[in-house]
A and B are shown apart, each in its own frame.
Chain A
């Protein structure tokens, strides 16, 4: 029996859900915290040696920690083409392996 579905009529149909599920969000928070932990380990080890690194001082100056971030910034990112100027973070290519923490101010 033929059933008219979007996939059969339209051909190409992307079935990426537009929002994240709560376990996906939980894993996202876990990843954010693991990056925080790596940076903290590096910073603490260098400080004990009396050294500093430009990459780490810059990260501390510019990047919020997981607990300081707003849910909006944890799970969505700026996109000028969206009506609300925000799209879900899982639309970002390789989103589980890149750091995307700050967005343009005001958006």
Chain B
């Protein structure tokens, strides 16, 4: 099953009430928010109403809010050679 991955890039401040309501119906409350909706003509029609404000991609899986957040997580700058539990295991042996 395919999904639309919709991200709000531009706010609807100052635009007709209708655009704000469409965004609310799609579940987009603030800029850079991402929502997933199953591909259907009704969702496509809703996106067409706010096509200037959003970015849309088609994807196969619906991601959770946390997974979307983790995509944006920066590289920590280090990698783990050995964890402390492993080390403790080594010394006890």
**A23-47 residues at the B interface, CB under 8 angstroms:** 31, 34-35, 38-39, 41-42, 44-46
Chain B positions within 8 Å of A51 at CB level: 39-41
Minimum Cβ distance to chain B for residue A80 (Å): 23
**A62-107 residues at the B interface, CB under 8 angstroms:** 94, 96-99
Chain B interface residue count: which class?
Answer: 20 to 34
Chain A positions within 8 Å of B15 at CB level: 94, 97
Considering the complex, give the chain B residue whose CB is closest to the CB of A32.
B52
State A51–B43 Cα separation when bound (angstroms).
12
Q: Is the interface of B mostly helix, strand, loop or mixed?
A: mixed
Chain B positions within 8 Å of A46 at CB level: 39, 41, 44
Check B44 against A53 for contact (C-beta < 8 Å). yes
Chain A positions within 8 Å of B52 at CB level: 31, 35, 97-99
Minimum Cβ distance to chain B for residue A87 (Å): 20
Q: A41-B56, A45-B58, A49-B40 are in contact. List 5 more A-B contacts (CB 8 A).
A: A34-B55, A38-B55, A42-B56, A45-B2, A46-B39
Interface residues of A (CB under 8 A from B): 31, 34-35, 38-39, 41-42, 44-46, 48-49, 51-56, 59, 94, 96-99
14 contacts between A and B (CB under 8 A): A35-B52, A38-B51, A38-B56, A41-B57, A42-B47, A45-B2, A46-B39, A52-B41, A54-B41, A56-B44, A94-B15, A97-B15, A98-B52, A99-B52
